[in-house]
Structure 1
Amino acid sequence: MNNPRNVIVTGATSGVGLALIPLLKEKGYQPILTGRNAEKVQNYAAEQQVPGYVLDVSDTGSIPSVIEEIEKENGPIFGLINNAGIWLEGEFATNKPEDIHDVVNCNMMGTMMATHAVLPDLAERGTGFIFNVVSTGALYTRKNISVYAASKWAIRGFTGCLEAEYAPKGVRVMGFYPGKISSEMYTTAGVPRDLEIAMTPHQAAEMIIMMITHENMVWSHVSGRSLSDYV
C-alpha cells in the first residue's frame, strides 16, 4: 500500500489494545503497536508483524519524540487509539499521592498529550480520527473509584469538546465507554475482580472497529457491558 493508513494504538501489549491489532489489519489499516514494556512491544510486534514502539504515555514529555519517530519511519498518522490506562480504587483519603499522580498522568494527561501530538496534522489534512477508550466510570459516580473516575470524566469532557471542534474539519473524535473487561488492568493494580462476568477484550475491540470503520459517522458516547455484568 503506497499510503498506509497508520493507526497508533497505545497500551497495545495486552487486553483491548492487543486485540485491536489483528482486527485493524483485517480492515486494511496499518496498526502501530505501542506500550511501555520494551520486551513485550518487541515480541508482540514481531508476532503480529506490525511496527512496534516503546511509548509510556504517563511520561508525557517523551510522547512528541516517539510520535515524530513513528511518522518518520512509517509516514503520516491516520488515527490514534488512546487505549492505555491504569486502575486505582479505595477510599480517597487512603490513596497514595504518587498513585493519584500516576493515574492522572496515564489516563488523562497521556491521552491528552498523545492527542496533542497527532491532531494538528490530522486537521491540516482534513481526515483521520482520534479514538478514546474511556469507561463507564465516566458515566456515573460511586464510592472508592474517585481518582480513576476523575481521570475518565476528564476524558469524557475532552472527547466531547474535541468532537465538536474537529468534526467540521474532517477529523472524527470518538469515545467508547465500556464496562468491565477481562483484562490485566485489575491484576496489575492488585485488585481482585470476578472477570467471568466481563466482556472480553475481543468483544470490546470489535465495537471499536465498527465505530472506526464507519468513516462517514461520528459515534458519540457509545457504551456497553456484558449481559452477565448486570446479574
Structure 2
Amino acid sequence: MTKTILITGCSSGLGKLTARHFAEKGWNVVATMRRPDPELANAYPARILVAALDVGDPASIEAAIEAGIARFGGLDAVVNNAGITMVSIFEATPADAIRQIFETNVFGMVNVIQAAVPHLRRRGGGTVVNVGSGVGIAAMPLLSVYSASKQAVEGLSESLSYELSSQNIRVRLVQPGAMRSTNFTTTGMAASQAAPVPESYRPYFDHMLQSMINYPFASTEEQSVVEAIHAAATDPTDRLRYQVGPDVEEYARLRWSTSEDAYRAGMHRLTGHTAWRDMAK
C-alpha cells in the first residue's frame, strides 16, 4: 500500500525539498503552505497534492487533512516543518513577535498534531516527525525566543513519544544544524517586527552577529536534513532524536557527555562569548 504523508511549510526551502523527496520515494504527499503554489506538484502530479494550510488556523489544517484523505485514501505520517525565527536582543523584542514565533513553532505544531492523531489512529498507527533545531539542545545568544520555542518542541516531542506510542503512533524529532540557505535574521517575520538594537547592547550585538556569520562549523546541507526526515518517517525502532550537522553533534556531545562546567565553557567558546569577554576586559 502506498503511504501518504502531510508536510507543513512547503512553500520553499526544506519543506519543498522534503515534499519532492518523499514523492521520489513513492509516497503520496500532501504538500501544504499558507498560499498554495501548484507548480510544486508538476514533477509528480499523481503523487503530490498542494493544499492550503495555516498552522494557526485549525479549520485550514482539518481541511488540508481531509483533502489529502479524499485524494489518497488515508494519512500515514505528518512532518511538522513550518517555523519562523528572529535574531534580536530579547529585551527589545516586540511582544507580538515573540507570540508569533510561539504561535507558529509551538502552538501551530500542537494544532497539526491534535488534528492528525485521530486520522493516524484510524489508519492503524503512523508517524509524526517534528523538525526541531540544534538550539533545542543548546540555546544561542540573539536567538532567545527561537531557542525557547524549539526547546518547547523538544519537550513536547519526547513526552508525546511515550504518550502516542499507546496509539501505535511514533514520534520523531529531527534536529538540524545551521543551514546557510536559512535567512536567520527575519525568516517569516514582517520587517516591521524587526527588533531595534538598544545602544547599550550594540557592541555586544555586533560582535555576536559577526560570530554567527563566522560560524565555526560547516553548514548543514538541506539534503542531509531531508534524508534524516525520511529516515525518521520510515524507522520502525523506538529512536526519538535525529541530529543532523557537525554543530548539532558537538552541542549534543557537550550537553549530554560532559559536565555542566565543560558544557558552559564549550558554548562560550563556540558562540564567540569567550572572545567577547576577552575584548570587554
- TM-score normalised by structure 2 residue count: 0.72
Q: 1:14 to 1:187 in 2, by over 3 A?
A: farther
Superposed CA offset, 1:76-118 (max 9, x none): 1111000011011211121112211211111001111001111
Deviating 4+ runs (over 6 angstroms): 190-193
2: distance between equivalents of 1:185 and 1:15? Answer: 11
Unmatched 5+ stretches in structure 2: 195-208, 251-269, 271-281
Which amino acid is 2:40 matched to? Y
Indicate conservation of the 8 Å contact 2:129/2:232, yes or no: no
Partner of 1:84: 82
Structural RMSD (CA)? 2.6
| Alignment match of 1:197 (pick from 211, 218, 225) | 218
- For residues 15-52 of structure 1, give each alpha carbon's deviation from its aligned partner in whole angstroms, at most 9, with x where no partner exists: 221111232123321112111233xx212123443110
Contact 1:87/1:103 (8 A) holds in 2:
yes
1: CA distance, partners of 2:26 / 2:168: 20
Q: Give the equivalent residue in structure 1 for 2:71.
A: 73
Residue among 198, 208, 211 paired with 2:232: 211
Task: Judge conservation of contact 2:131–2:175 (CA < 8 Å) in 1.
Answer: yes
User: What are the superposed Cα offsets for residues 172-202 of structure 1, whole Å, 9 maximum, x if unpaired?
Assistant: 1110111102334426537986499311211
Q: 1:153 aligns with which of 147, 151, 163?
A: 151
1:35·1:54 contact (CA, 8 Å) conserved in 2? yes
> Residue 63 of structure 1 aligns with which residue?
61
1:34 paired residue number: 32
What residue in structure 1 maps to residue 176 of structure 2?
A: 178
Q: Secondary structure at the match of 1:89?
A: coil
The residue type paired with residue 147 of structure 2 is: A
Conserved 8 A contact 1:123-1:166: no
**Cα distance change on mapping 1:9 and 1:113 into 2, 3 Å:** same
Asked which structure has the greater CA Rg, the reply is: 2
Q: Count the aligned residue pairs.
A: 226
**Matched residues in 2 for 1:142 and 1:182: separation?**
16
Q: What is the aligned partner in structure 1 of residue 206 from structure 2? A: none
**Quick check: 1:221 aligned with 2:236?**
no
Report the TM-score, using the length of structure 1 for normalisation.
Answer: 0.86
CA distance in 1, matches of 2:219, 2:44: 25
